[in-house]
A = this chain, B = another copy of it.
Amino acid sequence: MRTSSPNELMMRLDRRASPPLRVQLEQQLRDGIRNGSLAPGMALPSTRALAAELAVSRGLVVEAYAQLGAEGYLVTRPGGATRISEAAAGGPAARSRAELPRAPRYDFRPGAPDVSLFPARAWLASVRRGLARAPHARFDYGDPRGAPELRVALAEYLGRVRGVVASPDSLVVTSGLAQGLVILTRALVARGAGSVGVEDPGSAPLWQQVAGAGLSIVPVPVDAGGVQVDRLGDLAAIVLTPAHQFPTGVVLAPDRRAGLLDWAARRGAVIVEDDYDAEYRYDRPPVGAMQGLDPRNVVYGGSVSKTLAPALRLGWLVVPDRLALDVAGQKAADDLGTPIVDQLALADFIARGELDRHLRASRLEYRRRRDAVVDALARRVPEARVGGIAAGLHVAVYLPEGTDESRVLEAARARDVGVFGLSEHRTGPGPPALLLGYGRIPVPAIDPGIRALSGAIDAAWAE
């Protein structure tokens, strides 16, 4: 891959314009990445070279690179150049289009369940019952928080399955958790918040979603006990994945939970609990949601994206009283409410126990896949270490020190193995690691896939 020279970036900073120079630089880099003039994988000039070219301080360029790294636009390899992220290039729209063409032969891409397991027949039956039972008024403009039928069903379900303390009035149905985080972000901005803590490593798409909606993101380091609570300082809010940290797979340690709740209570801060794949724990019953311990300071968010299908775009927030009106108002401002038919269907689907039934079957299937991945890794890549707990739809796999993560990804791509690196999801250097999802790959393809991946790892060392 080539490295661009500072001149090639064609940055023009205007010292008389009102946005600070750092903001101008960030904006021009973002625009360039979105419109494709800065290509995925391209290395940026060093901070020293770009600072000299633009006649600004090196610190300013370092800060701009760090912010865009945190937003997922840039990736810095340990000891290497800062590059345009493969994942973020072109923005979400372009990325999604770029993903359309064809799935790789061995598809370990994380982030989705097996959509071929979607229970279409049972869903259709729930649509039928939902349509038949709904009063006509449901088809008019309605409560922007969602259909009462679904908010009642979710309050019961989340209480039973996750220990969430929710009343129908505290629930807001959203178009997936992505929209939930976006409207929550906008509501916090409207109340004067400027920044929010996020986990690092964390979810780069989540960083983008939150930053795009107006909050600066402040990376907070994650270690084996989850997010480091003593690093929260004077943040007004933090988004985290306590049950199964994305991407490392660790669980938030009990003392960290307590510390976090204490921090929020003392400071009036908001904890946003992203419970993105909590229904999948394979070794023991899952830890209950944090929200149940302090519903006043925790916003709880979930969706059916990992349990049924991402394309249903159905998610929810459980919102503390003090934020309830603002979040509902922002939902109304953004789209007047979530479409009704699937809401009625999900209410029926939950009430009839279909969701429980579907989860029992898919939990077995994903557990088999996870075991197959771990087993194949132990045999074919014995030098790798699997991180995190037996849960969710992906594993973090740490490679031996000195492995060049991006070379492994290139070699994997050449072998038609779809896999992402962990460095996309962190803002600074870290150990080389891969994220292996098993939502998209059936059991029989796993061993051959890991064999191909093992070949890619060897090839990266041989280069």
Contact = CB atoms under 8 A, between A and B. Distances in A.
Contacts of A34: 325, 329
A237 B332 CA distance: 24
A91 interface: yes
Interface in A194-240: 208-209, 212-213
A174 B212 CA distance: 18
Interface stretch (A39-47, A137-145, A417-425): A137-145
B310 A335 contact: no
B179 A334 contact: yes
A335 B124 CA distance: 24
Contacts of A249: none
Nearest to A31: B190
A313 interface: yes
Interface in A133-161: 136-145
Given A182-B335, A314-B339, A339-B312, A100 B176 contact: no
B144 A175 contact: no
Contacts of A35: 325
B334 A182 contact: yes
Given A140-B112, A178-B336, A339-B311, A93 B329 contact: yes
A136 B309 CA distance: 10
Nearest to A100: B143
Contact of A332 (B91, B137, B312, B331): B91
B145 A93 contact: yes
B96 A332 contact: yes
Interface in A281-317: 309-314
- Interface residue SS majority, chain A: helix
Interface stretch (A62-70, A115-123, A270-278): A115-123
Contact of A96 (B111, B127, B142): B142
Contacts of A325: 34-35, 91, 93-94
A441 interface: no
A446 interface: no
Nearest to A311: B340
B311 A142 contact: yes
Interface in A331-358: 331-342
Nearest to A312: B339
A381 interface: no
Contacts of A92: 144, 329, 332-333, 336
A179 B182 CA distance: 14
A262 to B, nearest CB: 29
Nearest to A305: B141
A335 B175 contact: yes
A72 to B, nearest CB: 12
Contacts of A144: 92-93, 96
A238 to B, nearest CB: 21
A105 interface: no
Contacts of A176: 335-336
5 contacts: A92-B333, A141-B310, A178-B336, A209-B333, A334-B334
- Sorted nearest first, the 7 A-B pairs with minimum C-beta distance are A92-B332, A115-B139, A311-B340, A93-B328, A139-B309, A179-B335, A175-B335
Given A115-B136, A341-B341, 15 more contacts: A96-B141, A96-B143, A96-B144, A99-B141, A115-B137, A115-B139, A115-B140, A123-B131, A124-B131, A175-B339, A182-B335, A208-B333, A309-B340, A313-B338, A339-B339
